[in-house]
Amino acid sequence: MTTFSKQGFNAAKYFAHRPMYNQAAYTHILNSHHGNVDLALDVGCGPGTVAAHLAKQFHQVIGVDPSPSMIKVAQQEQQLPNVTFCQAYGEALPVADHSVDLITVAQSLHWLDPARFLAEVQRVLRPNGTLVAWGYMFGKMLGNEDTLVAELGEGALGQYWEPNRAIATAGFVSWLPAFQATFKDVQHMSYPDPLLPCSKVLAVPWMDDSEMTLDQLVDYVKTWSSYKNWLDGNAGKDDVVDAFFKHRCPSLTGDSLVHIQWPHSVFIASQPLD
């Protein structure tokens, strides 16, 4: 069971403090999809943000997530007539064979088993369908402390991540061979730098740089699954995140503005193989 599916996980805080994808992301997705727009399926939908955007262009959208608290927040926040949310795993998609035009996977690939998930993708995707999977790595605090967020994620909280977190930290590039074995056409893009020899740099990033207060950055970090796991095993101790930023940023207050860049990685795959 992932941390996001455990009792006590606060999906509402996750929804409030996670960074968002910009309109360029959705425009790029739609421009890359050359099939029908009858049904889109968002796997690992979380609080439903991506599904709600897809609903503007697709006749019907289904969002699936294994976390009941995520599904509850999605149903509360994204009340749209053509969007349905249900609790399900990406390895057992609740849709008919060859019924889906577009599958999206945002910040969720590392939770999925590649072989089982891609077998389901081949089962449900239409011949002219598209799979778009993307996610972001540790944010960079622009300035003298570029690696500060990664330092916390890999240091004090490093041992509290699920093992598959390393897949996300590396930009999901380990998925490339599996995608290439499943689709005829696979493109990989990243920002701000190429992650692979075959990678292209996104001309327009899918996530805007963020200006936020230090308190808001702390709130974001506290949505990490590693922080939830730390809390579960360290009741009564001084907060690890608060202590880290107090030690590393002594000149900043909670209201101080920081600038965060979100490195991210995108796969667009089409023409599924038989």
Q: 62, 86 in Cβ contact below 8 A?
A: yes
Average model confidence (pLDDT) for the chain?
Answer: 94
Contacting residues for 95 by C-beta, under 8 A, at least 6 apart:
39, 41, 62, 124
Sign of CA dihedral 52, 53, 56, 62: negative
The tens digit of pLDDT for each residue in 198-234 reads 999 999 999 999 999 999 999 999 999 999 999 999 9
Which domains occur in the chain, in start order?
Answer: 3-137+165-207+263-272 (3.40.50.150)
- What is the helix (H) or strand (E) element at residue 193, kind and residue range? none
Whether residue 134 is predicted with pLDDT greater than 70 in this model: the reply is: yes
Whether residue 139 is predicted with pLDDT greater than 90 in this model: the reply is: yes
pLDDT, residue 14, reads: 66
The tens digit of pLDDT for each residue in 11-59 reads 677 667 789 999 999 999 999 999 999 999 999 999 999 999 999 999 9
pLDDT, residue 274, reads: 80
pLDDT, residue 1, reads: 41
Pairing of strands 257-261, 140-141: antiparallel
Residue 17 CB neighbour total at 10 angstroms: 17
Q: Which residue shows structure tokens 């996980």?
A: 9
Pairing of strands 39-43, 60-65: parallel
User: What is the Cα–Cα distance from 104 to 172, expressed in whole angstroms?
Assistant: 14
